[in-house]
Structure 1
Amino acid sequence: MTEPLLRLSGIVKTFPGVRALDGVDLTVAPGEVHCLLGQNGAGKSTLIKVLSGAHQPDEGTIEWQGSEVRFVRPTAALNAGLATIYQELDLVDDLTVAENVFLGHEPRRLGFSSRGAARRRTRELLGRLGHAEIPAGREVGRLPAAGKQIVSMARALSHDARLIIMDEPSAVLAHDEVENLFRVIRDLTSAGVAVIYISHRLAEIREIGDRVTILKDGRTVAVDLPAKTTPTNEVVRLMTGRNVEYVFPQRAATTPGEPLLRVTDLGRQKEFSDVSFEVKAGEIVGLAGLVGAGRSEILETVYGARKAATGTVEMDGKPIRRGSVKAAVAAGMGLAPEERKSQALLLGEPVYRNVSLASLRRFSRFGFVRRGAERTEVGAVTRSLDLRPADPRRAMRTLSGGNQQKAVVSRWLLGRTRLLLLDEPTRGVDIGARAELYALIRSLADQGVGVLMVSSEVPEVLGLADRVLVVREGRVVHEAPASDLTEAQVLDLVMAGERVTTSR
């Protein structure tokens, strides 16, 4: 290998209560496609932010073109020639292609920004990428996903990038657009530009990659693996296993009751299709899959927060109106969303107000809320879940992540919910609180509540759910009792497996 363009040695990054990176090593050569693999939570996103200057490492060294550096802000990394294209493209839809490409470093003439120069240089960059057909003056919001990605690459090249980090670049692309992306990447690497390529799709890694580095639990567990010849089972073996202990309650010996929820041929354009499953009373069903596979979208569509294009959702055999949260709640559903702080909680309000939010009508009389009854019933529910501190007048923002999640669940228990939808129920929750939440979810199921949950952590899905649906690229590719699946099998299905015909 030639002299490394980038070398990371012993990178450590700690956040309160979490050691996100625990001694990461990575070496990238000029003109290579270096693939970075790891499960959700392995540390890939944190590593990207360290490389881009968004985070500062607590320990370790970064060598760039032979010299030790420290990127104190993202602009420092960009100016050095290291650009990042995030999965969620950070483009401004209302600006033109040229304005996005040179945003923050506009060409100037006599002290004034020159739109003509920006458009001319943008056309040159688009031509270099093989996409001269994209008009430099068109608003970015009018471009398809593939066009926006090309604009992001042009912006990286406008900074004379020597290394481009691509985070799940194919997630929003059709098959023919992925082939074009690969052509662009090959053109870049032939010109000496290095690419760090992050993807869960092993077929893509084999087609475009040169070498592979694998992260697990914030550590480098494999380096210099040949991308094209390393067997899938070896990659999966290296990615599986965790340092975190998962303490799951024992599954109930009783058989789940009658079907509570029935989903038939549910679909939304470009998100998921042909999704069918049931959740029985007292049963926990888990949706396993990668970020972007469509799991959360399925959950939100069942709840009515997204309107289905096809298919039906039934509770107790009765169809629920598409796109109606009100109808879903009236039928007995409740959702604990992934982003609880921004989507579920009023952080400045007291606990009791957050918990009673979905049940205020019950406590209202002649247009006024009966505060005494409200606090009494909220207190009973929160005590049953051991929400701490026990004072329902405490501001929600003062509670820990685990207790905030308990508050969201309390809201739906107060509303006598019979089907609980949980999206990443333990995200941002410490290990001790996880065990409490697991016990709570299992206890609710034992009481006859149906649970449909999404989690990015495969051990969590397998340990908590009774039955698992594996979701890959918007389709359910496998369904089985959780006890019949292993972590390696699930990862194989979501990363490289073919669609499996299931029977129920």
Structure 2
Amino acid sequence: MTKVAAAVEMTGIKKSFGGLNVLRGVEFSVDRGTVHALMGENGAGKSTLLKILQGVVAPTEGSISVFGRPMSVHSPEISRSLGIGMIFQELSLIPSLTIAQNIFLTREPRRFGVFVDDGAAATRARALMSELGLDLDPNTRVEKLSTGQMQMVEIAKAISQNARVLIMDEPTSALSGFEVEHLFGVLKRLTADGVAIIYVSHRMDEIYRVAEHVTVLRDGRNVATASLKQMQIQDLIEHMIGKRVGVFDWRPRAVDRSRPPVLELRNVSGTEKPIEVSFKVHAGEVLGIAGLLGSGRSELARVMFGIDQKLSGEIRVKDRPIEIDRPRAAMDAGIALIPESRSREGLIVAHSVRANLGLPRIDDLVRGPLIDNAEEAKSTERIVHKLRIKTETDAVPVRTLSGGNQQKVVLGKWMATNPDILILDEPTAGIDVGSKSEIVELIRGLADEGRAIVMISSEIAELLAVSDRVLIMSDGRLVREVTRDEISSWMEDQDPSDSDGGARIAKAEHGLQMLLQEVRLTAPAR
């Protein structure tokens, strides 16, 4: 019986850049009609391997075949002709063009071989989207679409180029819960039609939901390829970072609630969101805030830090009312914000590590007309050492660091101000699992020092690992509080053989996910 060729077969792939071995004989095979996860920490070699498959760079050694056809010449055009499509985390659509125009950009149907036929493009685009279960007018400009709809248009664009292998890089990073569910439905349609999908994500719950197999890279080598049914989450993490960790297990911590709270909100409302939000946070407590995209989590953080206007309500710090109408007022009250977007709001990526770490306390470093370079250097050295920021020197631009180390710089620059209250908005988003574990440990350490922490996150495992209790937001309002006792009850019927806690974590994640979906479905229409 003739064996059916794999969708992708990469054998003995090596790649060196200037003497640096990035890939060291990687073997990577993806079957037709399956979702295969590719995982590893930042710097493990994932991006280089996928760039080779895309034809962007050529391997130093090794061979590639796609549906049994060898890739002997390496270029993006050859890769596309073999049926490989890539959907990037940063979408490549042109907002001012229509859906149809984006799908067929540079490949427009033409009348008489000369004139662009927008009508034919729209007809073909509508048929493509129908195959994907999308009900969109192909003449709609992309700028009017939601992020999830844009993601679907990217998929339609790839399918229009006869893509039979789809590479998806962090495809759900900006999607709502509903959009994620729709995307997963589309993936089922595509794999049922024989399309092979290479799925890259740092979100463990997604990987276990959507993928059948996983390949893990570490330091440019294969360290594991297996069915996900045979690999528990803690085994997967161990393969990725090279050691066993229990960092995502809950560790009980005593919180003294007999004293006045460090932070209290009383019926706080913004211009649109939040709406009449009230809660308390005590010294040494981590308050988690969960909610689907659009629930008002980030808007709440921005109001608390004085970026967005507070229309009504009261914010109290250490039992005193504080008027926070700008970030400086928040900083003076001992509040720090780690924003959702580290690259746009948390860092000046073209500036050095030292310059970024010194920004919030620049006034303290000034001596006359000049900055005290010696004091700045000492302060930077302390922070880099304490947070274990991996950087060649503190003079390199922040953009050269990995995502996890960039996030540590954002944390470090605010820790230098010695805040009593930390608001963390998506502190572990888009970073590898090793860096996530370090960030989780840092948050625990900050709470143990007595700081009050508000952690906003869509990363359920990390949220449950550090939070003393979790508040759920929907449509700008707080609608539910989840206690540690309730979270523990979700895990009581775990498999006794689960010695590393993988099933317990999965049960807790599932419990909170179900609550989030329940809140979305029962929310009143506005």
Establish whether TM, by shorter chain, passes 0.5: yes
- Give the alignment's TM-score, normalised by structure 2: 0.63
Q: 1:416 to 1:349 in 2, by over 3 A?
A: same
Q: Distance in 2 between matches of 1:409 and 1:289?
A: 21
1:496 to 489, 496, 510: 510
- Deviation, structure 1 residue 342: 5.5
What secondary structure does 1:496 align onto? helix
1:223 to 226, 229, 233: 226
Equivalent residues in 2 for 1:314-393, closer than 5 Å: 314-318=316-320, 324-336=326-338, 343-346=345-348, 354=356, 357-359=359-361, 370-371=368-369, 378=376, 381-382=379-380, 385=383
Q: 348-357 or 144-153, which moves further after superposition?
A: 348-357
Pair 1:96-2:83 in alignment:
no
Match of 1:121 in 2: 124
Instruction: Kindly tell me the number of residue pairs found equivalent between the two proteins.
Output: 476
- Any conservation in 2 of the 1:292–1:473 contact (CA below 8 Å)? no
- Any conservation in 1 of the 2:261–2:318 contact (CA below 8 Å)? yes
What secondary structure does 2:9 align onto? strand
- Deviation, structure 1 residue 4: 1.4
1:154 to 153, 156, 159: 156
Where does structure 1 lack aligned partners over 5 or more consecutive residues? 389-393
Q: 1:158 to 1:327 in 2, by over 3 A?
A: same
- Deviation, structure 1 residue 358: 3.5
Pair 1:80-2:111 in alignment:
no
1:239 to 224, 232, 236: 236
Q: 1:235 to 1:335 in 2, by over 3 A?
A: same
Q: 1:127 to 1:275 in 2, by over 3 A?
A: same
Q: Distance in 2 between matches of 1:46 and 1:476?
A: 44
Q: Distance in 2 between matches of 1:141 and 1:237?
A: 41
- Deviation, structure 1 residue 294: 9.5
Q: 1:439 to 1:169 in 2, by over 3 A?
A: closer
What secondary structure does 1:136 align onto? coil
Q: 471-480 or 61-70, which moves further after superposition?
A: 471-480
- Any conservation in 2 of the 1:299–1:421 contact (CA below 8 Å)? no
- Any conservation in 1 of the 2:353–2:397 contact (CA below 8 Å)? no
What secondary structure does 1:36 align onto? strand
Q: Distance in 1 between matches of 2:288 and 2:183?
A: 30
- Any conservation in 1 of the 2:98–2:140 contact (CA below 8 Å)? yes
Where does structure 2 lack aligned partners over 5 or more consecutive residues? 387-393, 475-479, 486-490, 492-499, 516-526
Match of 2:35 in 1: 34
What secondary structure does 1:119 align onto? helix
Match of 2:397 in 1: 397
Q: Distance in 2 between matches of 1:177 and 1:466?
A: 27
Q: 1:265 to 1:5 in 2, by over 3 A?
A: farther
AA matched with 2:213: V
Q: Distance in 2 between matches of 1:379 and 1:500?
A: 48
- Any conservation in 2 of the 1:222–1:238 contact (CA below 8 Å)? no
Per-residue CA deviation, residues 383-431 of structure 1 (Å, 9 max, x unaligned), is 654779xxxxx856399959988876675466453334567599999x9
- Deviation, structure 1 residue 159: 0.8
AA matched with 1:235: Q
- Any conservation in 2 of the 1:12–1:23 contact (CA below 8 Å)? yes
- Any conservation in 2 of the 1:275–1:476 contact (CA below 8 Å)? no
AA matched with 1:492: A
What secondary structure does 1:221 align onto? strand
Per-residue CA deviation, residues 343-362 of structure 1 (Å, 9 max, x unaligned), is 44556768886555435567
- Deviation, structure 1 residue 155: 0.6
AA matched with 1:142: K
Q: Distance in 2 between matches of 1:491 and 1:275?
A: 29
- Any conservation in 2 of the 1:347–1:395 contact (CA below 8 Å)? no
Q: 15-24 or 414-423, which moves further after superposition?
A: 15-24
Q: Distance in 2 between matches of 1:258 and 1:447?
A: 17
Identical pairs, percent: 29
Match of 2:496 in 1: none
Q: Distance in 2 between matches of 1:53 and 1:268?
A: 49
- Deviation, structure 1 residue 492: 1.4
Equivalent residues in 2 for 1:119-198, closer than 5 Å: 119-131=122-134, 133-167=135-169, 169=171, 181=183, 184-197=186-199
What secondary structure does 1:93 align onto? coil
Match of 1:391 in 2: none
- Give the alignment's TM-score, normalised by structure 1: 0.65
Pair 1:213-2:228 in alignment:
no
- Deviation, structure 1 residue 329: 1.8
